[in-house]
Amino acid sequence: MITLGSQGKNTFLEAVNKKSGANVLECYQCGKCVSTCPVSQYMDFPPREIMQMIKLGLKNESYMANSHWFCLTCSACSGRCPREIDIPAVMEAVRHLAIDENYINDSKKVKEIRKFHEIFLSMIKRYGRNYELRMMAEFNIRTRNLFKDMHLAPKALLKGKIPLGVKPLKSAKAIKRMYEVAEKLEKNK
Amino acid sequence: MKKLTYFPGCSAHGTSEEFDSTLKLVLKTLDVELEDIPDWNCCGATSAHVMTENLAYALPLRNLVLAEKLENTTMGIACASCYQRMKVTKVKMDGNPELAKRINTTVVEEGTYEGKVDVKSMLQYAYEDIGLEIIKSKVTKPLTGLKVACYYGCLLTRPKEITKFDSPEYPVSMDQICEALGATATEFDYKTECCGASFSISNTEVVENLSGQILAMAKESGAHAIVVACPLCQSNLDMRQPDIEKLQGVKYDIPIFYFTQLMALAFGYPIEQLKFPKHIVPVEGALANIGKVEPVPEKVKKPIKAVEAESEVK
């Protein structure tokens, strides 16, 4: 069923437009974004359909779709969009709203993508920089897939492709403080 | 002597150490002195903007603010992903003072953002600030005979409103640099297709599919090697290549060079300094083509203009 929000207003469309700075209503469904998108084949709904779902106010369905998690922000779609809509910004707005409103997509792939980003951010919080080897190890442990990419490890480590350590920031405190302020900003939106 | 503020990015101390070290060799020849941003931090790469808006701007902003304390007004960035996050943040901050004020509260101790420093990728810096003529003049060992497919990926030229550099669909800057070094750039249609980027770890099958298509197209273009300017593209195309070959049942054997490695090679640096042993796909086969002169093909393509002229006569 399509719910258009209170007083028949499409509050979801308004929220996405406001957050993304784009105007989703300008989309005329030509589908160029779908044929351009390198990952549309993996999406529950390709970008064109997500745009239409936003227009129809299908909030739940848009949030729960894996589409915004699969978007790589490669900006190929927006570069070719005849209406010049910033589609990656729309995808990002949907994702951020879904995170804010605690909508959790339970599929294995989305869980893994999300876990990767969370681990990456925790590396920066801890070291101020990315610690590649630890990030990969933590990803394998936390997704219960210990042997993922292990066949690449001996060569990569021997060749020094992936170093064993990281040079942490001198002022790691600055980053911790930044995270705290940013979290507060996020809450006070 | 030119001076340039330098943001190496996390991978410069890790997976793309050969990019960083050969870049330094090349800039030494080109008489450019690099000044590192003191105590720089990770730009947040693909993850920060996926999860949260404020942190996505805050992490690059700290580097921009720190860079403003140095004398130079241009910041050169090796990694394409760092470049894009930094440039997006700069454009957003410059265009939206309210947002700039809000994000600046996360880095008050470092200072206030003023927008004094311009942000460029190292490819853009080499192309615009150094120029093809000077690059050409430094070549002592031309790469004649080597055919390369120049792969730009998504981040160096897109979105065009942000990067304002080269073409978002069919860029040519790296091709022209390679030609200046004596190599031949092939006609390669997948120049700006995505390699799968940050899905390298969390969604490997997507990377294997997308990078596989890029490798196949590069091979079809007749290239001996692919040239890149992005650490993530390099590791996806190089480190994942054996798995892709297994998956597709094809043998590619295409080494993936950073454009700085080829520049250093053409500038006459000894091969030992170019960190080729770090590559997963061996480079020797491709480099063996240097110096080989190909026979001129019998069928010479008619120039397009001549065909047009004929049809006009009819």
Cβ–Cβ gap B41/A75 under 8 Å: no
Cβ–Cβ gap A117/B54 under 8 Å: no
Cβ–Cβ gap A117/B102 under 8 Å: no
Tokens read off for B239 = 């480190």
Least CB–CB distance from A129: residue in B10, B55, B58: B10
Is 70 exceeded by the pLDDT of residue A3?
no
Cβ–Cβ gap A167/B196 under 8 Å: no
* Strand positions, DSSP E, B57-208: 74-77, 118-121, 147-150, 184-185
Pairwise CA distance, residues A130 & B94, whole Å: 27
Q: A87, exposed or middle or buried, with CB in 10 Å at 0-12, 13-18, 19+?
A: buried
A82-113 pLDDT, tens digit per residue, is 999 999 999 999 999 999 999 999 999 999 99
Best probe of the B interface among A35, A77, A129, A136, by most B CBs < 10 A, is A129
The topology under which CATH files domain A6-100 is: Fumarate Reductase Iron-sulfur Protein; Chain B, domain 2 (1.10.1060)
Residue numbers in A near B278 (CB within 8 A)? 159-161
Would an 8 Å CB–CB cutoff place B59 in contact with chain A? yes
Least CB–CB distance from A162: residue in B15, B106, B109: B15
- Bridge partners, B149 (sequence order): B226
DSSP B293: P
Q: Which residues contact B72 (CB under 8 A, 6 or more apart)?
A: B3, B4, B5, B35, B117
Stretch 251-270 of chain B: residues touching chain A, C-beta under 8 Å: none
Q: How far is CA B158 from the centre of its chain?
A: 13
In chain B, whose CA is at the least distance from the CA of A99? B51
Domains of chain B: 2-123 (1.20.1050.140), 141-287 (3.40.50.11810)
| Shortest CA gap A86–chain B (Å) | 9
Q: B268-271 — which CB contacts under 8 Å span 24+ positions?
A: B268/B140, B268/B141, B269/B22, B269/B25
| Shortest CA gap B14–chain A (Å) | 6
Instruction: Report pLDDT for B299.
Output: 58
- Which three-class secondary structure state does DSSP give residue B67? helix
Least CB–CB distance from B41: residue in A78, A152, A175: A175
Cβ–Cβ gap B53/A86 under 8 Å: no
Instruction: Report pLDDT for A150.
Output: 78
Q: At what angle do helices B204-220 and B231-239 cross, to 10 degrees?
A: 90
Q: Are A175 and B39 in contact (CB under 8 A)?
A: no
Q: Which range has the worst mean pLDDT, A18-32, A52-66, A153-167, B230-244?
A: A153-167
Q: Are B137 and B113 in contact (CB under 8 A)?
A: no
Residue numbers in A near B49 (CB within 8 A)? 73, 92
Instruction: Report pLDDT for B172.
Output: 96
Residue numbers in A near B55 (CB within 8 A)? 121, 178-179, 182
Q: Could you list the pLDDT tens digit for every one of the 314 residues in chain B?
A: 889 999 998 888 878 899 999 999 999 999 999 999 999 999 998 899 999 999 999 999 999 999 999 999 999 999 999 999 999 999 999 999 999 999 999 998 889 999 999 999 999 999 999 999 999 999 999 999 999 999 999 999 999 999 999 999 999 999 999 999 999 999 999 999 999 988 888 888 999 999 999 999 999 999 999 999 999 999 999 999 999 999 999 999 999 999 999 999 999 999 999 999 999 999 999 999 998 766 655 655 555 555 444 444 44
Cβ–Cβ gap B42/A124 under 8 Å: yes
A127-169 pLDDT, tens digit per residue, is 888 888 888 888 888 887 777 777 887 777 777 777 777 777 7
Would an 8 Å CB–CB cutoff place B277 in contact with chain A? yes
Cβ–Cβ gap B203/A113 under 8 Å: yes
Instruction: Report pLDDT for A4.
Output: 55
Tokens read off for B214 = 């890029």
Q: At what angle do helices B53-68 and B80-95 cross, to 10 degrees?
A: 90
In chain B, whose CA is at the least distance from the CA of A78? B159
Q: Which residues contact B88 (CB under 8 A, 6 or more apart)?
A: B60, B162
Would an 8 Å CB–CB cutoff place B194 in contact with chain A? yes
Cβ–Cβ gap A174/B11 under 8 Å: no
Instruction: Report pLDDT for A110.
Output: 94
Cβ–Cβ gap A166/B39 under 8 Å: no
Pairwise CA distance, residues B92 & B96, whole Å: 6
Cβ–Cβ gap B154/A75 under 8 Å: yes
Cβ–Cβ gap B158/A171 under 8 Å: no
Domain boundaries defined on chain A: 6-100, 108-187
Instruction: Report pLDDT for B314.
Output: 42
Cβ–Cβ gap B10/A74 under 8 Å: no
Instruction: Quickly tell me which residue has 């994942």 as its tokens.
Output: B240
Residue numbers in B near A89 (CB within 8 A)? none
Best probe of the B interface among A37, A39, A42, A74, by most B CBs < 10 A, is A74
Give the global pTM: 0.90
Stretch 163-182 of chain B: residues touching chain A, C-beta under 8 Å: 168-169
Least CB–CB distance from B41: residue in A76, A166, A169: A169
